[in-house]
Structure formats: structure tokens, C-alpha cells
Structure 1
Amino acid sequence: MALKIKILGPWEVTADDEPVKVAGERRVGLLARLALSAGHVVPAEQLLADVWGQSTAATAAKQLHIVVSKIRDLLSRHQENEVITTVAGGYRLNVERENVDAHLFTLLSGRAGAARARGEAATADRLFQHALALWRGGALTGITAPWAQVEAARLEEERLMALEDHADLRLAAGDHRALVPMLTAHTLSHPLRERPRAQLMLALYRASRASEALAVYRDTRSVMVGDLGIEPGPGLRRMQEAVLRRDPALDLASPAMLMTLTERVITTARR
């Protein structure tokens, strides 16, 4: 049987697609922490600090051993080899990294980026779609420990980067009209991210909605000045200027002309 662990959304463990119930805050937290380092040893001290928090109970190490044993007993019936291996000073979860959705997402989005760099747009599009479809909600939902919040923020940033990379790919393919609703929702959810604002401006401009593209810039400036006290970055300002003068570089380019002013503007906004 193949164990799979899903943390990109509500916590879920399956064996051959059948759910395996893992109950208890520390069991769930410990298994999730090990899953994020699947195939690698996590020091016991790190597990105690992350899962047990600031507890200084003399029995904490014993409690860790007990929780590991309970997880082993629960999952051993679903996997032939040892699920958790005890090694000097720590523990290792013996689950293929691709069977943990967070690792699979990172792998697929990395492959998508590489395919895009090689000019393999169709392959990149398929890989981005597969990667983003793994997300069923916020990462590590239901796990409130500080370590989980840090990891959830890191994974969410990876998701946003993949989403925006995919949007770049779709813009280059002429999918600007279909992108407008998604990018509008994205900018509403993340109003201080300049890159999707630039992408939305470009999508609107290419859809013959230049006045709306300029309205996006005005809204962005209002938000940034009001919330942060700063002006939009140079990339977004260049996008506004390009829209105002109807720069031909904003028109849909051929695959051989992807590094136009448009690409440079969006790349600058990404920084």
C-alpha cells in the first residue's frame, strides 16, 4: 500500500486512496512535522520544540517516544516497510516525498518553470495546472503551532509564485481575457503584491480595456500610499506609462519575442 499525506488544505492521510484517521493534536502535529521533512532525519530536540512548544516537562522525551510508537502502530498496517525509523538523535518518516502533497507541489512547479524556460509552453501549462490543483485550502489547516504557521506562510508564498508564473505563461499564450477574473480576485486577496497588478493591467489592456488597466494602477497607488506610505515600484510605473502611450511592446508577442518590455515590466514588479 502507498501512504499519502496531504497538508495543502485540511489534514489528510490516505492508504491506497482510503482515509486513515490520525487523531490527537500531538499525533497530527508530529506526523505533519515529519512529513515536511519526509525521507530526512528530524532531530528529537527539534520535534520537542515544535510540537511540545515551550514545555519543559521532564517527561517530554518519553511522551515523544510514546506518540511515535502510536503513529507507528496506526500506520504500520498500511505500509510494509517501517513508517518511522528511529536514528541517533531523531526520527525519519519513510514515505516517498512525492506522496506528500507539499513536496509534490514543489517538484511539479519546479518542473513547470524549467519547461517554460525551455520554451515548452504546453508542458509547462499542464505541470502548473497539476501543481496548483493539489491545493485544497490553506496549508496545514487546523495545526496552530508556531512552526506550522511559519511553514504555511512559506508554502503559501510558493503557491502565489506558481500562480503568477502560470499567469505569465497564459498571458504569453494569449489567454488574457480568461485571466482577468482570476487576476482580479488575486489582487483583491493580495492587494500589496505588485506583480499580479501588472499582469492584470496587461490582461485588461490586451482585452481592449485600457481605461480599466489604468484604474488598476490608480487603485494600486492608493492602496500602497495609504497602507505603506510608498509609491508603486518602478516596474508598475513603467507599465502605467506603457499603457498610456499604447506601447506596441504590450501587444501579444510571438514566442520568439517573449522578453519584450512587457516581460521586463512584470519581472521588475516581481522583485
Structure 2
Amino acid sequence: MDSPTVFCRILGPIAIEIDGAPAQLGGPRSRRALAALSAAHGMAVPDEYLIEQIWGDARPASVVSALRGLIWRLRAALGPQVGPRYLRRDVGGYALTIPGPLIDHQQLAARVAGAMGHLDNGHPSWAAMDLAAAVALWRGEPWEELGPAPELIGIRAKLAELHDVAVEELQAARLALDDPAHAGPETARAVAALAEAVVATPYRERRWELLALGLYRTGRQTEALAALRGIHERLINDIGIEPRRSLRALEQRILRQDPDLLLPGPTRAARPRNDR
């Protein structure tokens, strides 16, 4: 018998899919246990930490037995081929050992990295496919069942940044799919998505840069300049920083109607973090 296909989702509510169907993981305590195990990236999790994540101060009298029973039910929910294989007991505690490529947050990172390479090498259609798949993986805050866990602040910020990059560079790929001088449906689609993206995350300069470029290519120069000037004022007035050099350079290029803005070419210039 072939082994079932397993996929773990932590970008939003915890879920494990087996052959494409979601396993019935049970109630909030089972889901918190599974979230805590998945956040350990395959390492064993001590019983005391699991107990704290599952019950907090409301732990039952026989809490160790309760933990054993909860893990047994989780294994049963995953099935006889998946449960014993991926939910194991080790000397340090329990471990969830689903391989990284079968977990959504590692797929997110891999797809974004691959798409950046496609953009750099002049393959926007391949980049768009990878980035659309990356964006689709995101369903909400990673490991949301664990609440504001201090130990997850760093990895959550890193994953949120990857998601933001995927949103932005998907639109960059779409802009590159059309002839810039005769902007078509992909450009219109990118402009619409970027108009929403700048509302959702208003201080990310990359999406304003792409929005202005898309507006300019659709013949809306005045709106493009208004967008750039708007983010300029917002950055200075709200958080006290100047826009990065690439944003200021784009404004000048639009003002002089630089013909190179309507030539085919990469839409992702190098963007060092200190581009100020």
C-alpha cells in the first residue's frame, strides 16, 4: 500500500491534510498541542511545555495521563499510517516529524526564493505562478492557536515579511507580463491588487513604487505622481523617514516621462534595505 500524502498547514488555523482531505483534529486543546509540536520544527517538546500550552493554569489533576490520552487521540485522528510515523515519543518529549517540504511555511519560503530567481532571469510567467501559489498558502497568523507567544515573535515576523514580499512581487511579475507601452489585462490586474495592498499595509514602499509604475503605464500619470507624493508625505509625517532612493528616482522619471519606463525589462531592481 502506498504511503498517504501528508501536508501540514500552520499559516492560519492548524491543519493536517492526508491525501488532500483535512484530518479531524478535535477541539482547541488538541489543536494547541499540534501547533506547539509543529512550532518546534521536528524537535522533541518537553511534556511540561506542552501541558502549559494546552491547559495553562486549568490543568487537570492527572495531567500527564491527560496528555498521553490527548496525543493518543491525535495519532488516531491522523490514521494508522501517519500518526505513528510522524507523531513520536522521544527521550525529550513528543515530536511532530513531518518533513519541511510538506509544511506550508517552508513551501512559502521556497516558492518566494524561486520566484525571485525567475524575475531576475527574465521569466515573469514562471515567477507569477510561484508567487500566486505562495500567496495562496497564507490563511492568517502562523500558529494562531498559541496566541502571543514570545518565542514565536521572530519567526512570525519573518513569515509575514515573506508573505508581503510575495504579494508585491506577484504584481511585479504581472506588470512584466504585459507590453509596458500597451498595458493590458495583467497590468490592470496588478494595479487593482496594488491599490488594495497599499491600504492593507500603507508603509511598504515597494508596493507604492509598483502601483505608481502600473498607473503610469496605464496612462494615469497624475495618479501615479499623487501616489508617490502621498507616500512621501505619509513616511515623513507619520514615522519621520524619507522615502528610499528608488521611490524618489521613479517620481523624477515619471515627471520627465522617461521612455525607458515603457520598455520591456525587469521590474525588480535591487532593493537593499538601506536604500534611503
- Find the aligned partners of 2:27 and 2:49 in 1 and give their Cα distance: 16
- Find the aligned partners of 2:268 and 2:109 in 1 and give their Cα distance: 24
- Find the aligned partners of 2:129 and 2:20 in 1 and give their Cα distance: 23
Deviations 1:191-238 (A, max 9, x none): 111111111111111111110011101211232223212332222111
Q: Aligned residue for 2:16?
A: 13
- Find the aligned partners of 2:119 and 2:131 in 1 and give their Cα distance: 10
For structure 1, which runs of at least 5 residues remain unmatched after alignment? none
Report if aligned partners of 2:119, 2:268 keep a CA contact under 8 Å in 1: no
Q: Taking structure 1 as the reference length, what is the TM-score of the superposition?
A: 0.80
Q: Which moved more, 1:186-195 or 1:126-135?
A: 126-135
- Find the aligned partners of 1:54 and 1:184 in 2 and give their Cα distance: 43
Q: Aligned residue for 2:149?
A: 146
- Find the aligned partners of 2:249 and 2:47 in 1 and give their Cα distance: 50
Go from structure 1 to structure 2 and tell me whether the alpha carbon gap of 1:8 and 1:213 turns closer, same or farther (over 3 Å shift).
Answer: same
Q: Aligned residue for 2:228?
A: 217
Report if aligned partners of 1:109, 1:131 keep a CA contact under 8 Å in 2: yes
Instruction: Kindly report the root-mean-square deviation, in angstroms, between the aligned alpha carbons of the 2 structures.
Output: 3.3
Q: How does 1:101-250 map to 2 (within 5 A)?
A: 101-147=104-150, 150=153, 151-174=155-178, 175-250=186-261
Per the TM alignment, residue 246 of structure 1 is displaced from its structure 2 partner at its CA by 1.4
Per the TM alignment, residue 42 of structure 1 is displaced from its structure 2 partner at its CA by 3.8
* Letter of the 1:159 counterpart: H
For structure 2, which runs of at least 5 residues remain unmatched after alignment? 179-185
Corresponding pairs, count? 263
Q: Aligned residue for 1:29?
A: 32
* Letter of the 2:53 counterpart: V
Q: Aligned residue for 1:44?
A: 46
